[in-house]
Structure 1
Amino acid sequence: MTLRPSLDLALIGNSSIAALLDRRGSIVWMCWPRIDGDPVFCSLLDGDASKGGFFSIELAEESEAGTEQSYVRNTAMVRTEVRAASGASFAITDFAPRFRHHGRMFKPPMIVRLIEPIEGMCRIRISCRPRLGYGEKIAARFSGSNHVRYDLEHSAIRLTSDAPATYIVSESGFVLSRPVTLILHSDETLADSVGHVGQNFRAQTIFHWQEWVRTLNVPLEWQEQVIRAAITLQLCSFEDTGAIVAALTTSIPEAPGSSRNWDYRYCWIRDAFHTVQALNRVGATATMERFIDYVTNVIAYERGPTLKPVYSIVPESPLEEVEAPFLSGFGGAGPVRVGNAARDQIQHDVFGSVILAASQMFYDERLPSKGDKSLFLSLEPLGMSALSNALTPDAGIWEYRGRLRVHTHSAAMCWVACDRLSRIAAKLELSDRALQWRQSADELKQTILSRAWNENLKCFAGSLDGEELDASVLLLHEIGIVPAHDERFISTVDTIGRLLQRNGHVRRYSAPDDFGVPSVAFIACTFWHVDALAAIGRVEEARTIFEDLLSHMNHVGLLSEDLDPMTGVLWGNFPQTYSMAGLIVAATRLSKQWGSVE
Structure 2
Amino acid sequence: MSKDAYHPIANYGVIGDCHTVSLISNDGSIDWLCSPRFDSPSLFAALLDAERGGQFVVRPAEPFTAEVAYIDYSAVLQTTFRTDCGVVTLTDFMPLRPGSGSRRFAYPESQHRLVRLIECREGEVPLDIDFSPRPNYARTTPVLSVTTNSVALETENGDRYRLHTSVPLAIEGPSARGVAVVRRGERIALVLELSDVTEGPQPDTLFGALQNLADTLAFWSAWASGCRYRGPYQQAVMRSAVTLKLLTYVSTGAMVAAPTTSLPEEIGGVRNWDYRYTWIRDASFAAYALFLAGHIEDGERFMEWICEIALHCEPGQLQIMYGLAGERDLPETTLDHLVGYRGSAPVRVGNEASKQFQLDVYGELLDCFHTCWRFGQFSAEKLHYLWPAFARQVDIVAERWREPDSGIWEVRSAPRHFVYSKVMSWVALDRGIKAAEELALPADIARWRAERDAVRMEVLDRGYDPALGAFARSYGERALDAANLLLPMVHFIDARDPPMRSTIEATECGLVADGLVYRYLDVDDGLPGGEATFGVCTFWLVDNLTALGRIDEATMLFERMLDRATPLGLYAEELDPRTGAHLGNFPQALTHIGLINAAVKLGRAITPDSGSDNDGQARDITGAVV
Q: What TM bracket, shorter-length normalisation?
A: over 0.9
Q: CA deviation at 1:271?
A: 2.4
Residue 175 of structure 1 is matched in structure 2 by: 181
Residue 31 of structure 2 is matched in structure 1 by: 28
Q: CA deviation at 1:4?
A: 2.8
1:584 aligns with 2:588: no
Residue 327 of structure 1 is matched in structure 2 by: 338
Which of residues 82, 90, 93 in structure 1 aligns to 2:91? 93
Three-state SS of the structure 2 residue aligned to 1:160 is: strand
Q: Deviations over 1:50-83 (max 9, x none)?
A: x2101111223x222x000000001011000111
Q: CA deviation at 1:296?
A: 3.4
Deviates more, 1:441-450 or 1:542-551: 441-450
Residue 58 of structure 1 is matched in structure 2 by: 59
1:154 aligns with 2:158: yes
1:188 aligns with 2:198: yes
Aligned positions of 1:362-381 closer than 5 A: 362-365=373-376, 371-381=382-392
Q: Deviations over 1:239-298 (max 9, x none)?
A: 212221111111111012321111111111112432222212212122332223323333
Which of residues 512, 521, 524 in structure 1 aligns to 2:533? 521
Q: For 2:586 and 2:569, locate their aligned partners in 1 and report how far apart those are by CA, in whole Å.
A: 12
Opposite residue 139 of structure 1, the aligned amino acid is P
Opposite residue 593 of structure 2, the aligned amino acid is A
Which of residues 121, 129, 133 in structure 1 aligns to 2:132? 129
1:215 aligns with 2:226: yes
Which of residues 1, 5, 9 in structure 2 aligns to 1:3? 5
Q: CA deviation at 1:138?
A: 3.5
Residue 617 of structure 2 is matched in structure 1 by: none
Which of residues 205, 208, 226 in structure 2 aligns to 1:197? 208
Q: CA deviation at 1:370?
A: 7.9
**1:545–1:306 distance in 2 versus 1, CA, 3 Å:** same
Q: Is the 8 A contact 1:522 1:561 kept in 2?
A: yes
Opposite residue 27 of structure 1, the aligned amino acid is I
**1:101–1:314 distance in 2 versus 1, CA, 3 Å:** closer
Q: Is the 8 A contact 1:512 1:518 kept in 2?
A: no
Residue 253 of structure 2 is matched in structure 1 by: 242
Q: Is the 8 A contact 1:253 1:261 kept in 2?
A: yes
1:293 aligns with 2:304: yes
Q: For 1:346 and 1:89, locate their aligned partners in 2 and report how far apart those are by CA, in whole Å.
A: 55
Deviates more, 1:349-358 or 1:462-471: 462-471
Residue 413 of structure 2 is matched in structure 1 by: 402
**1:436–1:196 distance in 2 versus 1, CA, 3 Å:** farther
**1:431–1:249 distance in 2 versus 1, CA, 3 Å:** closer
Q: Is the 8 A contact 1:562 1:570 kept in 2?
A: yes
Opposite residue 166 of structure 2, the aligned amino acid is D
**1:596–1:400 distance in 2 versus 1, CA, 3 Å:** closer
Q: Deviations over 1:383-436 (max 9, x none)?
A: 111222222100101111112101111111111111111222233133865565
1:105 aligns with 2:108: yes
Which of residues 42, 45, 49 in structure 2 aligns to 1:46? 49
Aligned positions of 1:220-239 closer than 5 A: 220-239=231-250
1:163 aligns with 2:174: no
Residue 619 of structure 2 is matched in structure 1 by: none
1:315 aligns with 2:326: yes
Q: Is the 8 A contact 1:57 1:125 kept in 2?
A: yes
Q: Is the 8 A contact 1:271 1:578 kept in 2?
A: yes
Residue 492 of structure 1 is matched in structure 2 by: 503
Q: For 1:534 and 1:102, locate their aligned partners in 2 and report how far apart those are by CA, in whole Å.
A: 42
Q: Is the 8 A contact 2:167 2:180 kept in 1?
A: no
Q: Is the 8 A contact 2:230 2:610 kept in 1?
A: no
**1:374–1:259 distance in 2 versus 1, CA, 3 Å:** same
Residue 361 of structure 1 is matched in structure 2 by: 372
Q: For 1:161 and 1:259, locate their aligned partners in 2 and report how far apart those are by CA, in whole Å.
A: 41
Q: CA deviation at 1:6?
A: 0.7
Opposite residue 182 of structure 1, the aligned amino acid is L
Aligned residues: 592
Which of residues 574, 580, 584 in structure 1 aligns to 2:586? 574
Q: Is the 8 A contact 1:425 1:433 kept in 2?
A: no
Q: For 1:387 and 1:122, locate their aligned partners in 2 and report how far apart those are by CA, in whole Å.
A: 68
Opposite residue 156 of structure 1, the aligned amino acid is R
Q: Deviations over 1:214-260 (max 9, x none)?
A: 11121421111110001101111112122211111111110123211
TM-score (ref. length: structure 1):
0.94
**1:63–1:317 distance in 2 versus 1, CA, 3 Å:** same
Q: Is the 8 A contact 1:319 1:341 kept in 2?
A: yes
Residue 79 of structure 1 is matched in structure 2 by: 78
Which of residues 554, 566, 576 in structure 2 aligns to 1:564? 576
Q: Is the 8 A contact 1:226 1:587 kept in 2?
A: yes
**1:22–1:436 distance in 2 versus 1, CA, 3 Å:** same
Q: Deviations over 1:90-129 (max 9, x none)?
A: 1111111111255462123221111111100111122111
**1:170–1:57 distance in 2 versus 1, CA, 3 Å:** same
Which of residues 513, 521, 537 in structure 1 aligns to 2:549? 537
Q: For 1:584 and 1:106, locate their aligned partners in 2 and report how far apart those are by CA, in whole Å.
A: 26
Q: Is the 8 A contact 2:359 2:401 kept in 1?
A: yes
Q: For 1:364 and 1:419, locate their aligned partners in 2 and report how far apart those are by CA, in whole Å.
A: 18
1:553 aligns with 2:565: yes
Residue 624 of structure 2 is matched in structure 1 by: none
Aligned residues: CA RMSD: 2.3
Opposite residue 163 of structure 1, the aligned amino acid is V
Q: Is the 8 A contact 1:59 1:125 kept in 2?
A: yes
Q: For 2:246 and 2:381, locate their aligned partners in 1 and report how far apart those are by CA, in whole Å.
A: 25
Three-state SS of the structure 2 residue aligned to 1:134 is: helix
What percentage of aligned pairs have identical amino acids?
32
Question: Which runs of no fewer than 5 residues in structure 1 stay unpaired?
Answer: none
Residue 259 of structure 1 is matched in structure 2 by: 270
Three-state SS of the structure 2 residue aligned to 1:173 is: strand
Q: CA deviation at 1:537?
A: 1.6
Q: For 1:380 and 1:521, locate their aligned partners in 2 and report how far apart those are by CA, in whole Å.
A: 37
Q: Deviations over 1:422-464 (max 9, x none)?
A: 2222331338655654443233222222221111111111113
Question: Which runs of no fewer than 5 residues in structure 2 stay unpaired?
Answer: 102-106, 612-626
Opposite residue 5 of structure 2, the aligned amino acid is L
TM-score (ref. length: structure 2):
0.90
Q: For 1:188 and 1:286, locate their aligned partners in 2 and report how far apart those are by CA, in whole Å.
A: 34
Q: Is the 8 A contact 1:363 1:370 kept in 2?
A: no
Q: Deviations over 1:2-32 (max 9, x none)?
A: 7334111101012112100000121111111
Residue 618 of structure 2 is matched in structure 1 by: none
Opposite residue 183 of structure 1, the aligned amino acid is V
Opposite residue 175 of structure 1, the aligned amino acid is V
Q: Is the 8 A contact 1:144 1:165 kept in 2?
A: no
Q: For 1:262 and 1:512, locate their aligned partners in 2 and report how far apart those are by CA, in whole Å.
A: 18
Three-state SS of the structure 1 residue aligned to 2:178 is: coil
**1:75–1:444 distance in 2 versus 1, CA, 3 Å:** same
Residue 356 of structure 2 is matched in structure 1 by: 345
Q: For 1:433 and 1:223, locate their aligned partners in 2 and report how far apart those are by CA, in whole Å.
A: 45
Deviates more, 1:136-145 or 1:246-255: 136-145
**1:56–1:471 distance in 2 versus 1, CA, 3 Å:** same
